[in-house]
Structure 1
Amino acid sequence: MDTHRFLVREISKSVQSLHEENRAWAIYHGPSHTLKRLPDRATIIRTTDLHNILNINMQCKFALVEPNVTISDLVQKTLNHGLMPIVVPSFPSLTVGGCFAGTAAGSGSSKFGYFDQGVAWVEVVLADGRITRASRTRNVDLLEGLVGSLGTVGIVTLLQVRLVPAARFVEVEYFPIKGVGRLIEVLERAAKDTENDFVEGLMIGVVVVGRLFAKKGKEMVTFSNPHDRWFYMHALEAEKKIEKVRMLDYLFRHDRGAFCLGETCFGRIPFRPWTRWATDSAMREASLIRVVQELQWADHLVMQDVVVPVDAAAEVLDHLDSNMGRFPLALCPVRQWPENSVVMRPNPRSAELCMSITVRGWSDDSIKDAKKFRDQTREVEKKVYELGGIKWLYSRNYYSEEEFWNTYSKEDYDNLRSKYNAGYLPSVYHKSKTPDMPPRSRRAAKVKVKGFWNQVFTWSSVLAVRHRAQKT
């Protein structure tokens, strides 16, 4: 704890000095999942050393966690004590601070809502350098304002994360479904069943329900080994059946292939069990995100996560199908409490159950034409806003400033930043907006490709194949 206090004081001193000079700063916490090309900042506040779990309290069921601890590390340490966070996102390389600030969800969200709803309090370095805490009873507006604001209100340096009893295994049941309406109906019913600990849907079409299970089954199914099938492939071809899965394998079932993103790399390489085995080290989610960032694929690949009221989910899915084509989608019901006010997570319809929709894939139009990709993304943004939903802001965002603040309350956000002296920092709109830059084809020659797999995927990916086909 002494080391933690020292690091936080050093961050506080740096922030205070910059505040006195009225110089904006940016937070650097290490590798990020953002898909945006952020401008270079002359002043960086580094939080990379805040990566420890300081305490796991078994009696009170909470963990004191620094923000750069990965979800994988937190889950593994807490499972050793028979506990786990109330919501665990499916990608192990996500950080606790990122899940809090980025308002993450997971298949446990049908019971508990978003990850941040399991955070009891946070320690924060404010934009003027002061160190304070925000909890459910103290500085409540600050705690809620930090959610989804992407570090534009203050720097979170410590979180108390609520834990719940866990089991060693999960009993996973598959329900093959035909039709969008039927899929959403079954997901909604499964989310309301308190016996279900995890609920997820895959288009098209299966609903996957998980329940904590104490005893090991005779035949255990795994998803983390190089020879295993990727989870979405396994689930979409599953008949109605029940399987036993180790807890870690289930929680991080989408790590291999990053749901279905890894399939993008197999344009010239055959998509077969032996090629997935051979490329396994590059098919983990953290590796694939680096590939997307370094090869600048995010200008052409659809990588979006949206959340809308459950009664609007079918309309969003129809829009995605008609405008982008059909590719695998992951759906997770998300419990909402309309009385809880979060500035950067509006709920204009006061929905008690929403649907998170994960989109990964490409269409022939967007993969060849960056402008077409931009237009398609803009249409998704408009449709989601029209239906009372929001987009996660890690991805490509093309809102105009007026459209952005029609979705979120600028007045509440500005008042919060003014109260905590953060008005001199770039706003969440400017931080999340994708800057206007030349299409990838005009700057491809400037991209420095490093690493063996990056070299391979530059030649082999669907993106490379489509671009070459366009030129010939």
Structure 2
Amino acid sequence: MDLSSHEREVSRVATTIRVQASRGGPVRIDKGGVSHFVPVPGDPRERATPIDASRLRRVLTIDPERRVCVAEPGVTFAELVPRTLEHGLVPAVVPELEDITLGGAVAGCSIESSSYRHGGFHDGCLEYEVISGDGQIVTCSREKEPSLFDMIHGSYGTLGVLSRLTFELVPAKRFVRMEYRRFDHFDAFNAAMVERCKAGDFEFVDGIVHGPRDFVLCLGAFVDDAPYTSSYRWLDIYYKSTRGRTDDFLSTPDYFFRYDAECHWLSRTVPGLETRPVRWLVGRHVLGSRNLIRWSKRLDRVLGLKSRPDVVCDVFVPQRNFGAFYEWYERDFDFWPLWVVPYRMPRPYPWIRESHARHGDELWIDCAVYGKPNDDPRVDGSEVLEQKTYELGGVKTLISRNHYTEERFWQIYDRERYEAAKRRLDPHGVFPGLYEKAHRVRKS
């Protein structure tokens, strides 16, 4: 572990924060690469002073015997997975887009098809090193300052700069065999998904709802060998393949990042980009989450001409209310595909207010809506989705447009615990508050 280089870089960032704290004014963490906050035209965060943490992007050590990795927050999962696979190991949860960073997965809400077993990436984390708003270096874990450790997840960079993570690894193999099971009714699909989660006989469980009578349960297992491998990084499209195939084989990295080429299905918003001739000509320059997000930022002014941005959001609904959510979604929301990911919450997250999470469900269902047009002047689809999620005791990610009043926001998020962590880590308010950062734009 090159601790000397790490400590020098942490010291530099801490000094920058102390200087900025003395000057005042809003700041933001610049981790380098692309931001996975959904682009919103006129985002006020872009006017804040950046704190450059872009050099905190090294894997510091991998311990195959203990199955533990120590790394800096700017490491992307695409960079990490090949390193750990050399030892037959991977993080328990690998988010689906290549450029998501370790720090971003902790600060936000990371999910994937292994989440029915492991929860989020943060649930496998053992220790964080954080640079506070007054330039102090704070180390926390479940044993040391557990109240801080618990609140780093879901804080979206509002408490400090995450500078080092220690996290668990799990055994992996070179390939993943996929099995696709089709259903034409929601009840059968949902029952089969819950059954597989209870049985635990696959490493990966998720689903794609292509339409009201077209459900696909996607089941994956690590295997040592594969008779062939498919790739969905250029000409072929993963989510479409699930409608026609009964099984498939992918290399483990290609499975983890199977949605990256389309940035889920956002590529279909670009005319022709899902056709093979266009993909052959320009796909390598346009496809992929990094490219698509960068293009969306370049087109900020054009996107600003829209009455509203498209709906791009993940919402978590308690499994017991998933049927009610889906009934409403099919009838009123009517946008496909819908990505469905079962998510095990090993214990209630402290940043969720106890009165909101009182149902005590361990299994939640993440429903990912990507790219629904939102140009109906009579209704804002983003706000309607947010309201329905709240009604059903769910929680939405905060990376997109948010409409909560301050009162409603703190009925979901635990204000007392958040503000206690804020006082400890950012007593002078160098970083924005969670409510203020989440409510970037209110555009109708």
Secondary structure at the counterpart of residue 150 of structure 1: coil
Distance 2:231 2:22 in 1: 54
Secondary structure at the counterpart of residue 8 of structure 1: helix
For residue 363 of structure 2, what is the aligned residue in structure 1? 353
Q: How many residues align?
A: 426
For residue 100 of structure 2, what is the aligned residue in structure 1? 94
Q: Deviations over 1:2-54 (max 9, x none)?
A: 11101111111222334455554321112201124134445321101111111
User: Which amino acid in the other structure matches residue 415 of structure 1?
Assistant: A
For residue 251 of structure 1, what is the aligned residue in structure 2? 256
Secondary structure at the counterpart of residue 276 of structure 1: helix
2:319 corresponds, among 296, 300, 310, to 310
Secondary structure at the counterpart of residue 132 of structure 1: strand
Distance 1:152 1:326 in 2: 33
For residue 28 of structure 1, what is the aligned residue in structure 2? 30
Distance 2:357 2:344 in 1: 12
Alignment of 1:447-458 (within 5 A): none
For residue 242 of structure 2, what is the aligned residue in structure 1? 235
Q: Report if aligned partners of 1:343, 1:409 keep a CA contact under 8 Å in 2.
A: yes
Structure 1 length-normalised TM: 0.85
Distance 2:273 2:58 in 1: 41
Q: Deviations over 1:77-116 (max 9, x none)?
A: 1111111000011111111100010021111101101110
Task: Report how far residue 270 of structure 1 moved.
Answer: 7.6
Task: Report how far residue 421 of structure 1 moved.
Answer: 3.8
For residue 10 of structure 2, what is the aligned residue in structure 1? 8
Unaligned runs of 5+ in 2: none
Distance 2:343 2:428 in 1: 32
Distance 2:100 2:273 in 1: 30
Q: Deviations over 1:432-454 (max 9, x none)?
A: 113235x7xxxxxxxxxxxxxxx
Distance 1:145 1:105 in 2: 18
User: Which amino acid in the other structure matches residue 406 of structure 1?
Assistant: Q
Q: Deviations over 1:244-293 (max 9, x none)?
A: 22111111111121221111102xx3843222333322121221122233
Greater shift in the superposed pair: 409-418 or 192-201? 409-418
User: Which amino acid in the other structure matches residue 427 of structure 2?
Assistant: A
Greater shift in the superposed pair: 18-27 or 189-198? 18-27
Q: Does residue 1:405 correspond to 2:407, yes or no?
A: no
Distance 1:279 1:317 in 2: 37
Q: Deviations over 1:50-79 (max 9, x none)?
A: 111111111111111111111110111111
Note closer, same or farther for the CA distance 1:8–1:94 as it changes in structure 2 (3 Å cut): same
User: Which amino acid in the other structure matches residue 384 of structure 1?
Assistant: T
Task: Report how far residue 189 of structure 1 moved.
Answer: 1.1
For residue 212 of structure 1, what is the aligned residue in structure 2? 222
Distance 1:156 1:72 in 2: 19
Q: Does residue 1:223 correspond to 2:225, yes or no?
A: no
Distance 1:155 1:435 in 2: 24
Secondary structure at the counterpart of residue 220 of structure 1: coil
For residue 452 of structure 1, what is the aligned residue in structure 2? none
User: Which amino acid in the other structure matches residue 314 of structure 1?
Assistant: G
Distance 1:435 1:341 in 2: 27
1:117 corresponds, among 94, 116, 123, to 123
Distance 1:356 1:94 in 2: 18
For residue 126 of structure 1, what is the aligned residue in structure 2? 132
Q: Percent identity?
A: 28
Note closer, same or farther for the CA distance 1:385–1:46 as it changes in structure 2 (3 Å cut): same
State the superposition RMSD in angstroms: 2.1
Secondary structure at the counterpart of residue 44 of structure 2: coil
Distance 1:115 1:337 in 2: 12
Unaligned runs of 5+ in 1: 440-472
Task: Report how far residue 139 of structure 1 moved.
Answer: 1.0
Alignment of 1:331-410 (within 5 A): 331-338=340-347, 341-343=350-352, 347-363=357-373, 366=374, 368-369=375-376, 375-410=380-415
Distance 1:148 1:117 in 2: 12
